[in-house]
Structure 1
């Protein structure tokens, strides 16, 4: 197992303020992946303290958090004591982190947005 750095950038999201996407808005995530690019859930349990995330956007300071899980629900967590800042990840256990694949993240305001995987590199 090795940890990977995954960079996802905001893809086209028709019907939202980001209908054309935004390459300057996204997430950088560190997580263990299987050889075929899926999240390695067994390894995650062993290294979850090293699974961090950074949300970046041109109009705000970067925000650091971590990948977290409750039952089958995966989310980005920016404050352990506050669940209102959690950003759920749609069916994360089924997504493949490979170049060109898409992942949906629900932002703090409850809006689901699609991000495109732009980089996957071993850490």
Structure 2
């Protein structure tokens, strides 16, 4: 399965289970610990954990390996090796602003290449 197909599966599962504001960051050319990062909002703390459980249940049969996971009601991080998945309540997403950090990584890499 290609990385694009894997990302597509992750986004599809999150979308079907009512995650909001799903974003995918391609960091293949950036100096970062993963090639891709998926960020999604949950509706509430219970939904955060439920989304992770759905991902795990649906992705493992497809051959995905969850190398490490950090779980709290407000924020789940799942490490698939080359893909990191962040599921969090909107308040945490706003507070920690991962999009800004990841976007800056991508922009900095583009500047280096230019």
Fold conserved (TM > 0.5)?
Answer: no
Q: Normalization by structure 2: what TM-score?
A: 0.32
Higher strand fraction (1 or 2): 1
Relative to total residues, which structure has the larger helix share, 1 or 2?
Answer: 2
